[in-house]
């Protein structure tokens, strides 16, 4: 079962000849899985080709297939069709903003119960903005990098005074 699901959801170019042969045998035995495979492949191509305008046609085809998982998914897409079409059509995304927010939340969780708001504010403002893109890391800057000797060590209580001295010096 796992092999069949993997074969249906993976890009056809990444399948080996044996996997392709096995999938064809499964599709011959169960035609509804072949139809599912076509629907999944068509849906996967929409964000790649930015063809969100084809979404209503895909929803109609998915509902006509009358397969519980696919038709339920199509119904969910239909509830906010304009947003789905925009998401599959426009080239920009809020991924960078979401990443920054998640990074701040992680820092907040790390400092929970350990220090006050001032230290949290300094930690967030001193984080290197390109931490997720190592090729863009700034060398010799004032940003706080996890590998630095001044990075907070949470294993003992000695981190507080050293980190606070470092933050006063850095800011």
Rounded to whole angstroms, the Cα distance separating 55 from 61 reads: 10
Q: Residue 144: what are its φ and ψ, rounded to 5°?
A: -90, 120
Q: Judge whether residue 163 has pLDDT over 50.
A: yes
DSSP 67: -
pLDDT for 164 equals: 55
Nearest CA to 67 out of 35, 23, 44, 28 is that of 35
Instruction: Work out the pLDDT band at 60, boundaries 50, 70, 90.
Output: very high
Rounded to whole angstroms, the Cα distance separating 167 from 115 reads: 13
Q: Encode pLDDT of 87-134 as tens digits.
A: 888 887 777 888 888 888 888 888 888 778 888 777 777 765 555 555
Q: Enter the pTM of the model.
A: 0.54
The half-sphere exposure of 14 on its side-chain side, counting CA atoms within 13 A, is 6
Lowest model confidence (mean pLDDT) among 7-11, 45-49, 92-96, 144-148 = 144-148
């Amino acid at each position: 079962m796992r092999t069949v699901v993997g074969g249906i959801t993976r890009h056809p170019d990444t399948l080996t000849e044996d996997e392709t042969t096995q999938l064809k045998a499964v599709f011959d035995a169960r035609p509804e899985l072949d139809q599912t495979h076509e629907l999944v492949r068509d849906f996967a191509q929409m964000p790649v080709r930015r063809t969100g305008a084809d979404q209503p046609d895909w929803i109609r085809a998915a509902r006509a297939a009358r397969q519980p998982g696919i038709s339920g998914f199509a119904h969910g897409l239909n509830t906010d069709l304009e947003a789905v079409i925009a998401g599959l059509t426009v080239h920009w995304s809020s991924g960078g903003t979401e990443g920054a927010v998640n990074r701040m939340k992680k820092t907040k969780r790390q400092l929970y119960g350990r220090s006050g708001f001032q230290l949290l504010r300094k930690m967030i403002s001193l984080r290197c903005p390109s931490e997720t893109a190592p090729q863009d890391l700034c060398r010799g800057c004032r940003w706080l990098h996890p590998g630095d000797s001044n990075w907070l060590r949470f294993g003992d209580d000695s981190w507080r005074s050293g980190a606070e001295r470092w933050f006063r010096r850095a800011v």
